[in-house]
Amino acid sequence: MQNLIEIKGVRHAYRTDAGPLPVLDGLEISVPEGGFIAVVGPSGCGKSTLTRLIAGLMKPDEGEVWLHGERVRGPRSTVGMAFQNPVLLEWRTILKNVLLPLEIVPSKLSKKQAEDRARFLLSLVGLEGFEDKRPSELSGGMRQRASLCRALIHQPDVLILDEPFGALDAFTREDLWQTMHRVKEREPFTGVLITHDLRESIFLADQVVVLSGRPARTQYVLDIPSDGPRTLDDLYTPIAAEQLNILRHQIQIAQGRAPAEEART
Partner 1 sequence: MTAWKTLRGIAVPLIAVVIFLAFWEWLVWVNGWPKFKMAAPSDLPPAYERHWNLFLTMGWQTLWRTVLGLLLAVLFGTLLGMIMGFSRLMRDALYPLLVGFNAIPKATVVPIVALMFVGQHDFNTVLLAFMISFFPIAVSVSIGLSTLEPEYRDILRSLGASQATIFWKIALPKTLPEFFGALKVAVTLAFIGTNLMEIVSPHGRGLGALFDSGRTNSDFPLMFAVLIALAFLGIVLYYIVVALEKIFAGWAERTPG
CB 60 within 8 A of CB 11: yes
CB neighbour list of residue 124: distance below 8 Å, 6 or more residues apart: 149, 182, 183, 186, 187
Q: Is 55 in the site for partner 1 (CB under 8 A)?
A: yes
Q: Is 17 in the site for partner 1 (CB under 8 A)?
A: no
Neighbours of 61 (CB within 10 A): 14
Q: Is 139 in the site for partner 1 (CB under 8 A)?
A: no
Q: Is 68 in the site for partner 1 (CB under 8 A)?
A: no
From 16, 17, 69, 74, residue interacting with partner 1 (rule: CB under 8 A): 74
Minimum gap (Å) between residue 128 Cβ and partner 1: 22
CA 167/CA 204 separation, integer angstroms: 17
Q: Is 104 in the site for partner 1 (CB under 8 A)?
A: yes
Minimum gap (Å) between residue 204 Cβ and partner 1: 21
Minimum gap (Å) between residue 237 Cβ and partner 1: 36
CA 264/CA 246 separation, integer angstroms: 11
Q: Is 103 in the site for partner 1 (CB under 8 A)?
A: yes
- Going by their DSSP bridges, the two strands 3-16 and 19-32 should be labelled as antiparallel
Neighbours of 238 (CB within 10 A): 7
| DSSP string covering 188-241 | --EEEEE-S-HHHHHHH-SEEEEEPSSSB-EEEEEE----S---GGGGGSHHHH
Q: Which stretch binds partner 1 (CB under 8 A): 11-19, 36-44, 98-106, 238-246?
A: 98-106
Site for partner 1 in 147-176 (CB under 8 A): 150, 154
For residue 74, count CB atoms less than 10 angstroms from its CB and return exposed for 0-12, middle for 13-18, buried for 19 or more.
Answer: exposed
Q: Is 232 in the site for partner 1 (CB under 8 A)?
A: no
Q: Is 178 in the site for partner 1 (CB under 8 A)?
A: no
For residue 136, count CB atoms less than 10 angstroms from its CB and return exposed for 0-12, middle for 13-18, buried for 19 or more.
Answer: exposed
Q: Is 189 in the site for partner 1 (CB under 8 A)?
A: no
From 83, 130, 203, 220, residue interacting with partner 1 (rule: CB under 8 A): 83
From 8, 21, 32, 52, residue interacting with partner 1 (rule: CB under 8 A): 52
Which residues contact partner 1 (rule: CB under 8 A)? 52, 55-57, 74-77, 79, 81, 83, 85, 87, 89-91, 100-101, 103-105, 134, 136, 150, 154
